[in-house]
Amino acid sequence: MGFAALNARVAGLLAGVEEVRRQGAYILGRIISSSSEPLIRHKGKDYINLISNNYLGLSTHPKVKKAAEEALRTYGTGMCGSPLACGTTELHAKLEKKIAAVFGTESAMLFAAGYQALLGTIQGILGPGDLAMVDEFAHRSILDGVKLSGAKLRAFVHNDASDLSDQLRRLAPKHEVTMIIVDSVYSMEGDLAPLPDLAAAAAAHESLLLLDEAHSLGMVGPRGYGLMDHFNMPGSAQLVSGTFSKFAGSCGGYTAGSAAIIDYLKHRSSPFIFSAAAPPATVAGVFKAFELIEEEPERRKALRENTVFFRGLLAAAGLRLGGNTHVVPLRLGDLMLAMKVTKSIFENGILASPIMPPTVPVKDSGIRFGIMAMHTRAQLQRTAEIVIGACKEAGAA
Ligand SMILES: Cc1ncc(COP(=O)(O)O)c(C=O)c1O
**Block mean pLDDT (10 aa), the chain, length 397:** 89 88 80 93 95 96 98 96 95 98 98 98 98 97 98 98 98 98 96 98 98 98 98 97 97 98 98 97 98 98 98 97 97 89 94 86 90 98 98 87
Helix (H) or strand (E) holding 291: helix 280-295
141: CA distance to ligand 1 center in Å? 7
115: CA distance to ligand 1 center in Å? 5
Distance (Å, rounded) from C-alpha 319 to C-alpha 124?
Answer: 43
Strand ordering across the sheet containing 178-183: 107-111, 253-257, 239-243, 208-212, 178-183, 131-135, 152-156
Report the amino acid identity of residue 276.
Answer: A
Distance (Å, rounded) from C-alpha 162 to C-alpha 283?
Answer: 40
Kindly provide the b/e burial profile for residues 112-142, where b requires at least 16 CB atoms within 10 angstroms of the residue's own CB: bbbbbbbbbbbbbbbeeebbbbbbebbbebb
Q: Is residue 359 part of a domain?
A: yes
**Domain boundaries, position 44:** 25-54+297-393
CA distances from 273 to 97, 242, 346 (A): 20, 18, 42
Query: How many domains does the structure of the chain reveal?
Result: 2
Distance (Å, rounded) from C-alpha 85 to C-alpha 213?
Answer: 28
228: CA distance to ligand 1 center in Å? 19
114: CA distance to ligand 1 center in Å? 5
Give the residue, out of 139, 286, 355, with the most ligand 1 atoms within 8 A of its beta carbon, to mutate for a pocket test. 139
Looking at the fold, whether 43 and 169 belong to one and the same domain comes out as no
Distance (Å, rounded) from C-alpha 13 to C-alpha 27?
Answer: 17
Distance (Å, rounded) from C-alpha 94 to C-alpha 229?
Answer: 22
Q: What is the separation of C-alpha 258 from the centre of its chain, rounded to a whole number of angstroms? A: 23
Looking at the fold, whether 43 and 84 belong to one and the same domain comes out as no
Q: Would you say the pTM of this structure is higher than 0.85?
A: yes
Length of the chain counted residue by residue: 397
Looking at the fold, whether 287 and 342 belong to one and the same domain comes out as no
Give the residue, out of 187, 247, 353, with the most ligand 1 atoms within 8 A of its beta carbon, to mutate for a pocket test. 187
114 touches ligand 1 (CB under 6 Å): yes
115 touches ligand 1 (CB under 6 Å): yes
Which pLDDT does position 1 carry in this prediction?
65
R_g (Cα) of the chain, nearest Å: 21
Looking at the fold, whether 255 and 272 belong to one and the same domain comes out as yes
The residues, any chain, with a CB within 8 Å of residue 208's CB and separated by 6 or more, are 125, 177, 178, 179, 180, 202, 238, 239
241 touches ligand 1 (CB under 6 Å): no
Looking at the fold, whether 159 and 289 belong to one and the same domain comes out as yes
Distance (Å, rounded) from C-alpha 126 to C-alpha 146?
Answer: 8
Looking at the fold, whether 44 and 67 belong to one and the same domain comes out as no
Which residue, 275, 295, 315, sits at the end of a domain? 295
Distance (Å, rounded) from C-alpha 39 to C-alpha 37?
Answer: 5
Looking at the fold, whether 93 and 33 belong to one and the same domain comes out as no
